[in-house]
């Protein structure tokens, strides 16, 4: 099988644009990581013409996935945490080719988890947490308990991931195994939500009470990246926030986070006159 795999990546490895090649072998333990494929070949390039190219093969009744990704897309995944498998691929894969130690340096950097990258990842998880929690609470108040349950489980997942990142850990696909060891209180909340013999309504009601405390305690940490960025100048329009290089990665979640921070008095809203005397422009600034 080794020779067959080599024929798939060898030519690519000779290209000047290829930075590294990783092999991830599927096992029963890693089945969720490789999407049931027996082998994944991850090729990283510095080409900018296509973010991701995927090819699939079969040989000797073995499924092989070939993923060619440019370093810009890879950096985006790593920064935003939007492709959770990529961390497992990088940490558990076997390096087959490494131009100028690109992969070794990248993996070492991920292990070190630089402070600024950690702060952004915390901010992104916090934004998702606030979005899910807010939507779940609204659905709960409307007595849509099953839909509320779906949002709340996601909010706990983001809370768990945020707590892991806070302590310098990269969240894995099996994130609750990590949370159980590192943040047992959050793990206990998750188990109570899933397995308590109370009615679903009562479980959700109790969880909202506990979650309020946890979210409040994480607000300064979770919003730190947004607040530090807003400190760059005195006043911001919503469009200026959306256009900012680092804040734009929050996407539509930025709206609910800003309103949450206004409610918690981390941010002020200033109203200024528009062409109409009735309608006013909204501007955001940090609370002094």
Instruction: Give 117 or 44, the one with higher predicted confidence.
Output: 44
DSSP strand pairing (94-98 vs 280-286):
unpaired
DSSP strand pairing (267-273 vs 280-286):
antiparallel
* Category of 101 on φ-ψ map: left (φ > 0), alpha (ψ -120 to 50) or beta: left
Give the per-residue pLDDT at 288: 76
| Among the listed residues 266, 152, 177, the one whose alpha carbon sits nearest the alpha carbon of residue 216 | 266
Phi and psi dihedrals of 30, rounded to 5? -105, 15
**Fold observed for domain 2-112:** Beta Polymerase; domain 2 (3.30.460)
Q: What's the predicted TM-score (pTM) here?
A: 0.86
Q: Please write the tens of the pLDDT for every residue from 174-225.
A: 889 999 999 999 999 999 999 999 999 999 999 999 998 899 999 999 999 9
Mean pLDDT of the region 33-60: 90
The half-sphere exposure of 28 on its side-chain side, counting CA atoms within 13 A, is 0
DSSP per residue, 224-258 = HHHHHHHTTSS-B-HHHHHHSTTGGGGTTHHHHHH
Domain boundaries, the chain: 2-112, 113-221, 223-288
Q: Please write the tens of the pLDDT for every residue from 1-19.
A: 888 999 999 988 999 999 9
CATH for 223-288?
1.10.10.10
Q: Please write the tens of the pLDDT for every residue from 241-287.
A: 999 999 999 999 999 999 999 999 999 999 998 888 789 999 999 99
Residue 114 contacts residue 78 (beta carbons within 8 Å):
no
| Among the listed residues 186, 180, 177, the one whose alpha carbon sits nearest the alpha carbon of residue 159 | 186
Residue 59 above 70 pLDDT? yes
Q: Please write the tens of the pLDDT for every residue from 77-129.
A: 998 888 888 988 999 899 999 999 999 999 999 888 888 889 999 999 999 99
CATH architecture of the domain with residue range 113-221: Up-down Bundle (1.20)
Mean pLDDT of the region 57-77: 93
Residue 29 above 70 pLDDT? no
Give the per-residue pLDDT at 19: 97
Give the per-residue pLDDT at 270: 94
DSSP per residue, 161-193 = HHHHHHTTPPP-SSHHHHHHHH-HHHHHHHHHH
| Among the listed residues 129, 92, 161, the one whose alpha carbon sits nearest the alpha carbon of residue 253 | 129
Give the per-residue pLDDT at 31: 66
Residue 224 contacts residue 125 (beta carbons within 8 Å):
no
Q: Please write the tens of the pLDDT for every residue from 115-163.
A: 888 999 999 999 999 999 999 999 999 999 999 999 999 999 999 999 9
């Amino acid at each position: 099988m080794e020779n067959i795999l080599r024929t798939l990546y060898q030519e690519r490895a000779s290209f000047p644009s290829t930075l590294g090649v990783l092999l991830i072998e599927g096992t029963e333990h890693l089945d969720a990581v490789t999407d049931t494929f027996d082998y994944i070949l991850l090729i990283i390039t510095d080409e900018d013409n296509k973010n991701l190219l995927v090819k699939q093969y079969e040989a000797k009744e073995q499924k092989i996935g070939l993923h060619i990704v440019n370093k810009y897309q890879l950096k985006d995944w790593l920064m935003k945490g939007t492709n959770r498998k990529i961390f497992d691929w990088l940490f558990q894969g076997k390096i087959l080719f490494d131009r100028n130690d690109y992969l070794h340096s990248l993996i070492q950097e991920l292990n070190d988890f630089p402070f600024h990258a950690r702060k952004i990842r915390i901010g992104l998880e916090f934004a998702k947490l606030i979005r899910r929690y807010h939507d779940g609470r609204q659905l709960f108040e409307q007595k849509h308990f099953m839909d509320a349950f779906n949002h709340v489980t996601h909010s706990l997942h983001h809370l768990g991931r945020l707590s892991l990142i806070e302590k310098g850990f990269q969240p894995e696909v099996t994130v609750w195994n990590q949370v159980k060891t590192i943040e047992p209180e959050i793990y206990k909340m998750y188990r109570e939500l899933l397995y308590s013999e109370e009615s679903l309504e009562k479980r959700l009601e109790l969880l909202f009470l506990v979650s309020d405390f946890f979210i409040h305690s994480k607000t300064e940490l979770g919003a730190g990246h947004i607040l530090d960025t807003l400190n760059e100048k005195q006043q911001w329009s919503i469009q200026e926030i959306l256009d900012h290089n680092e804040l734009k990665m929050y996407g539509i979640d930025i709206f609910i986070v800003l309103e949450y921070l206004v409610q918690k008095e981390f941010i002020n809203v200033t109203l200024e006159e528009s062409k109409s005397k009735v309608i006013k422009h909204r501007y955001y600034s940090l609370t002094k």
